[in-house]
Amino acid sequence: MTDAAANSSSQDIAGPTYRILLAISCCHLLNDLMQSLLAALYPMLKAEFALQFWQIGLLTFFFQLTASILQPVVGIVTDKRPFAWSLPIGMAATMCGLGLLAAAPRYGLLIAGAGLIGVGSSIFHPEASRVARAASGGRFGLAQSVFQVGGNMGSATGPLLAAFVVVPFGRGSVAWFALVALAAMLILIQVSRWHRRDRAAARRRPAAATTRLPPRRVAFAVAVLVLLIFSKFVYMASMSSYYTFFLIDRFGLSVQEAQQMLFLFLAAVALGTVIGGPVGDRIGRRSVIWVSILGVLPFTLMLPFANLFWTGALSAVIGVALASAFPAIVVFGQELLPGRVGMVAGLFFGAAFGVGGIAAAALGILADRVGIQTVFEVCALLPVLGLTTVFLPSRRELSE
């Protein structure tokens, strides 16, 4: 029996298993928090090892290579050969990576540490998404939202902890976060035990129906979803990396004031992540994607020319709307490819991570050439790609 069949059939028996959803969301928070420490270390590493900027870039490259490209590979492997203990093993890789970053005596080991953190992330996201679906009780969008909001909170919290812990106490303080990884491993051991029991019970239930869409139609729909991920995460990269610079340049804000505006946007992103999944369960994921991507276009077009008050208000609306799309996109992909829950999660999370990293670098080069204002005017057009949602199969086609 496929994973989708096993998971789907188990959903007909009971509602969501909230303790598992909360546990996996908490571990997502801890995972993404630890990931964010790498960038916080860059100034220290540059000074301590006398690194050039290309060497800093190489650290990011190895982290993103392992964290994005490996994710769909891990998903494909675990779809075919499920391994219940992959979650704590992935977290152990992150813990080892943190240890290397904290104590490495030479640059080569720093690269190994960055790569190990990426490996941990590649193992965590596909399998954790599979667990969230298994614990959803049929409310797949809700489960993805709960899972993903943990990652949003971790990404937002990481830089704050870095400012209050890593910066004052130095590179060695990163080793303290190995205790965070250890706590996450203990939680994930319990989650893995639950998932192993759930899989065993699900195999004894009748298989659920699968989609009958032609393979070419499915492949085209997945390509559309990847394009929508591109539009969303390139715009998100412009906001997360350059929004503060835009505010300082346009309105003369202080760094502190600009950071407060960025926090408003990130809080809106977290809210949108919570909203998107449950709404998709009720009205259909295609409808959520329509509204989230294309519907945000008027607001992105206005933002580069608005005054300070409306810039804050528009950024909040944009954050809520855009973030609501991703849980719907992930679940839509899993419905298109039943039995490949891990592969879909790995592909989409990996694409999101890779696109975000590449876009941040490319937009920085563009900003150096044409100015930060022009970058935001160009990125404002990205939601136009939401028109491609028309090519996605309807709810009725998926259920046939």
Transcribe 28-56 into DSSP letters: HHHHHHHHTHHHHHHHHHHHHHT--HHHH
Which is more confidently placed, 355 or 377?
Answer: 377
Q: Say yes or no: 179 and 309 in one domain.
A: no
**What percentage of residues in the chain have a pLDDT greater than 90?**
30
> DSSP label at 135?
T
**Over residues 377-384, mean pLDDT:** 94
CATH of the domain at 10: 1.20.1250.20
**Over residues 36-58, mean pLDDT:** 80
Residue 327 and residue 144: Cα distance in Å, rounded? 5
Q: What pLDDT shows up at residue 225?
A: 93
Q: What pLDDT shows up at residue 308?
A: 94
Q: How many residues does the chain have?
A: 400
**Over residues 81-99, mean pLDDT:** 89
Query: pLDDT grade, residue 15 (50/70/90)?
Result: low
Q: Say yes or no: 311 and 375 in one domain.
A: yes
Q: Say yes or no: 175 and 234 in one domain.
A: no
Q: Domain range for residue 319?
A: 215-399
**Over residues 356-366, mean pLDDT:** 81
108-149: per-residue pLDDT in tens?
999 999 999 989 988 998 888 889 888 888 888 888 898 888
Q: Any idea of the CA torsion for 280, 286, 287, 291, to the nearest 10 degrees?
A: 100
**Over residues 32-49, mean pLDDT:** 82
297-331: per-residue pLDDT in tens?
999 999 999 999 999 999 999 999 998 988 889 88
Domain contains 153: yes
Q: Say yes or no: 292 and 341 in one domain.
A: yes
> CB under 8 Å, gap of 24 or more: what pairs does 184-190 form?
184/26, 184/27, 184/30, 184/31, 184/91, 185/88, 185/91, 185/92, 185/95, 187/23, 187/26, 187/27, 188/23, 188/27, 188/87, 188/88, 188/91, 189/85, 189/88, 190/23
189-207: per-residue pLDDT in tens?
999 999 888 877 766 665 5
Residue 17 and residue 147: Cα distance in Å, rounded? 12
Domain contains 208: no
Which is more confidently placed, 211 or 19?
Answer: 19
Given a contact cutoff of 8 angstroms between Cβ atoms, the answer to whether 353 and 67 are in contact is yes
Residue 281 and residue 296: Cα distance in Å, rounded? 21
Q: Say yes or no: 156 and 302 in one domain.
A: no
Q: What pLDDT shows up at residue 25?
A: 93
Instruction: Say yes or no to pLDDT of 266 above 70.
Output: yes
Alpha-carbon torsion (39, 94, 266, 125), positive or negative = positive
**Over residues 156-179, mean pLDDT:** 81
342-360: per-residue pLDDT in tens?
888 888 888 887 787 788 7
Give the list of residues 6+ apart from residue 28 with CB closer than 8 angstroms, or none: 124, 128, 147, 148, 150, 151, 154
Query: pLDDT grade, residue 4 (50/70/90)?
Result: very low
Helix axes 372-379, 215-251, angle to 10 degrees: 150
Question: Per the confidence metrics, is the pTM higher than 0.85?
Answer: no
Q: What pLDDT shows up at residue 11?
A: 44
Q: What pLDDT shows up at residue 174?
A: 87
Q: Say yes or no: 257 and 141 in one domain.
A: no
Q: What pLDDT shows up at residue 13?
A: 45
Q: Say yes or no: 90 and 173 in one domain.
A: yes
- Give the mean pLDDT of the chain: 85
Domain contains 101: yes
Q: Say yes or no: 37 and 179 in one domain.
A: yes
Which is more confidently placed, 339 or 309?
Answer: 309
Residue 133 and residue 78: Cα distance in Å, rounded? 15
Q: Say yes or no: 225 and 309 in one domain.
A: yes
**What percentage of residues in the chain have a pLDDT greater than 70?**
93
**Over residues 85-108, mean pLDDT:** 91
